[in-house]
Structure 1
Amino acid sequence: MTTSTTAHATARTIAELDAGETAQAFEVMRELRPHLTDVDEFVELVRGQRREGYRLVVSYDETGRLVSLAGFRHLNSLYAGSHLYIDDLSTLPSARGKGHAGALLRWVDEEARRLGCAGVHLDSGTARHDAHRLYLASGFVIPAFHFAKSL
């Protein structure tokens, strides 16, 4: 599912990356996941996640540069039924505020509808206020707290 959209006088193309294109997303993913320091390791990690249904959809700017991405999975759970879960949403600093992440969220919404999902879910770090504003403006609500324990 590839679409071209225009917003804020910026042309963008949205496309899903196949397994052979994963390395293209490394620079953008590092903005969100700076602990990833090796492109080959990143590709291998994503390869494992792809076996569990992980998908990558990306936004290219008007020059053809990959500037934003969303990594997501189709899940089923007792609390939410069939839904898409966004693991990763990242945009290069130079491309922020130009509508790329919003366009990706809309793409994921459409994919969720296509798959017959009841909704879209994501978690976000508590200090990511700009991201929270985007999520709230995109129709997300905060229905729960996420708890985690390191072992």
Structure 2
Amino acid sequence: MAVLEILPPSTHLAFRAMQALRPHLKDAESFEKQVDDVQRPDGYRLLGAFDDERANGTDAVATLGFRFGTNLAWGRFCYVDDLSTLPGERGKGHASALLERVHEIAADDGVTEVHLDSGVQAERAAAHGLYFRQGYRITSYHFGREV
């Protein structure tokens, strides 16, 4: 397995894995445009887990999107926006490898905290187990409201 940062013009390699988490994503082209033109300028980065050590233009089997930020509550932090694995590839260590890599990137940047949110649906139980095994703890409730 290889964990690599996915950079333009290869953003589309993350689409299939990301769509497993975000089924509203319609196609690789609009996904790539959203990530490269809107989110990357705000600091969003993508990691991919690949079965092939060299990736060679193959789709990622798992992907993690993250960014750095600063706020009054946490100071400088790393936030994992997205972590998704293709259904047939789950349980093989890809997500753990991606989290370990983002922890290394955060530490190299001098950041001492990595945060993420996860839905509370029953189908998220395996993901929650992964987060606990990786040392994450539930530290707050997250509230949202449509306006």
**TM-score, normalised by the number of residues in structure 1:** 0.89
Structure 1 or 2: more strand by fraction: 1
Structure 2 partner of 1:42: 31
Partner of 1:21: 10
How far the C-alpha of 1:96 sits from its partner, in A, is: 0.6
> Is 1:102 aligned with 2:96?
yes
Deviant stretches of 4+, over 4 Å: 62-65
Asked whether the equivalents of residues 81 and 118 of structure 1 are also in contact (C-alpha less than 8 Å), the reply is no
Cross-structure match for 2:136: 140
Q: Distance in 1 between matches of 2:114 and 2:77?
A: 5
**Residues 1:88 and 2:82 aligned together:** yes
C-alpha distance in structure 1 between counterparts of 2:115 and 2:143, whole Å: 15
Q: Which runs of 5 or more residues in structure 1 are unaligned?
A: 1-11
Count the aligned residue pairs: 140
How far the C-alpha of 1:85 sits from its partner, in A, is: 0.2
Percent identity of the aligned residues? Answer: 44
Q: Is the 8 A contact 1:80 1:118 kept in 2?
A: no
2:61 is paired with a residue of what secondary structure? strand
State the alpha-carbon separation in 1 of the partners of residues 5 and 29 from structure 2.
Answer: 20
TM-score, normalised with respect to structure 2: 0.92
Indicate the RMSD between aligned Cα atoms, in angstroms.
Answer: 1.1
User: Matched residues in 2 for 1:84 and 1:101: separation?
Assistant: 17
Native 8 Å contact 1:15 1:57 kept in 2:
yes
Structure 2: runs of 5 or more not aligned:
none
Match of 1:116 among 105, 110, 113: 110
Q: Does 2:75 correspond to 1:78?
A: no
CA–CA distance in structure 2, aligned partners of residues 150 and 123 of structure 1: 18
1:62 CA drift (Å): 4.2
